[in-house]
Amino acid sequence: MSLITLGQKESHTKVLLLMGSRFELTAISTDQEEAAKAIDSGIAEIKRIEKLISSWNTNSQTSEIIKNAGIKPVVVDQELFNLIRRSLKISKLTGGAFDISYASMDKVWHFDGKMKEMPDSSTIAASVAKINYKNIILNPDKRTVFLKEKGMKIGFGAIGKGYAANKALDIMSKMNLTGALVNASGDLISWGKDEGGKDWKIGIVNPKQKGRVFSWLSINETAVVTSGNYEKFVTINGQRYSHIIDPRTGYPVKGLSSVSIICPNAELADALATSVFVLGKDKGLELINRLKGIECLMITDKQELFTSNNLHLDYIQKPITNHKYQIKIGE
């Protein structure tokens, strides 16, 4: 655990691998023991959620749902039922750009450097044949989940980390702290103030220069989630293909390099960041501008910067190279 001391309040941070991702939990307190206790409580909550939603754990309720695809409905905890129900609402909102049944996608795209040629169109079409959120059948009275077709799977890779960050921060905020922050590999949510008693200041990185921050955002009890195509990709015949795949078509998405969603809820921001990436600039902005209290910042493959209506920058829709931005929400 690292410690940064500024005046009376101290920033305590712990970094560890959870849910297959890098989690960073920070607690602000005058009491080191209380801060450590809060961080440990947040970690325990993330581990609990991982056991519930992990498809890798053969004993999880999620695995039980998958095992019984096309066979029978499975009774699940109310918590998991509600998460799936919220996921389906986002699928409907985005026209299937977000879909937890993406997990049944056959692996035809590989991003380990070994892929040298394009898969044929029939192979790609077959890879997404089992993806259809409308075939996830919920029964609220019996609290059951049923995957209608054999071979269907569900996964929470595009919403699970945000949900876990929400839940961990909720527990930490009820403890003896003045501020807390949970960062789940880019799914970030804050509460209270930083060690200086100010709003948390979050840097958004340049997709082309990962070590450089191109914009700063001051947040207070807000989530910021960024999705990017700059870490996993494959190049075939000089064309670069992102690891973010449209679940409706089976093809990698094009046009955007980075999408950041800003809203009070990390779970929703997590799902919408993926959705906007899939929808693309125009449809993505159209969606976000319809949603109250949610803002978006995106960078195109041409390094142009665009924002939703209520997110203001001092200099927008220009190449981001060699510019710094201070982001403001609202008027």
Per-residue pLDDT tens over the stretch 92-113: 999 999 999 999 998 888 888 7
User: Residue 288: its pLDDT value, please?
Assistant: 98
User: Residue 260: its pLDDT value, please?
Assistant: 94
- Strands (DSSP E) contained in the chain are 2-6, 9-18, 21-29, 74-75, 136-139, 144-147, 179-184, 187-192, 200-206, 209-219, 223-228, 233-236, 239-242, 256-263, 295-300, 305-307, 311-312, 325-329
Count CA atoms within 13 Å of residue 73 on its CB side.
14
User: Residue 331: its pLDDT value, please?
Assistant: 45
User: Residue 4: its pLDDT value, please?
Assistant: 36
Please give the domain boundaries of the chain with CATH numbers for all domains: 2-47+159-329 (3.10.520.10), 61-147 (1.10.3980.10)
Look up residue 97 and give its two tokens. Answer: 């750009």
Distance separating alpha carbons of residues 251 and 278, to the nearest angstrom: 10
Distance separating alpha carbons of residues 105 and 43, to the nearest angstrom: 31
pLDDT in tens, 209-251: 666 777 778 888 899 999 988 777 888 888 888 889 999 999 9
CB-CB contact of 9 with 1 (8 Å): no
Distance separating alpha carbons of residues 165 and 169, to the nearest angstrom: 6
User: Residue 143: its pLDDT value, please?
Assistant: 98
User: Residue 2: its pLDDT value, please?
Assistant: 36
Distance separating alpha carbons of residues 90 and 271, to the nearest angstrom: 8
**Ranges of residues in the chain whose predicted pLDDT is under 70:** 1-8, 208-211, 312-331
CB-CB contact of 216 with 201 (8 Å): yes
Give the residue among 17, 20, 62 at the shortest CA–CA distance from 43: 17
User: Residue 321: its pLDDT value, please?
Assistant: 52
User: Residue 237: its pLDDT value, please?
Assistant: 86
User: Residue 188: its pLDDT value, please?
Assistant: 95
Kindly give, in sequence order, each residue whose CB lies less than 8 Å from that of residue 218, ignoring residues fewer than 6 positions away. Answer: 198, 199, 200, 201, 202
* Residues 44-51: contacts with CB under 8 Å, at least 24 apart: 45/164, 45/167, 45/168, 45/171, 46/18, 46/19, 46/164, 46/167, 46/168, 47/18, 49/19, 49/160, 49/163, 49/164, 49/167, 50/18, 50/19, 50/164
Chain centre distance of CA 276: 11
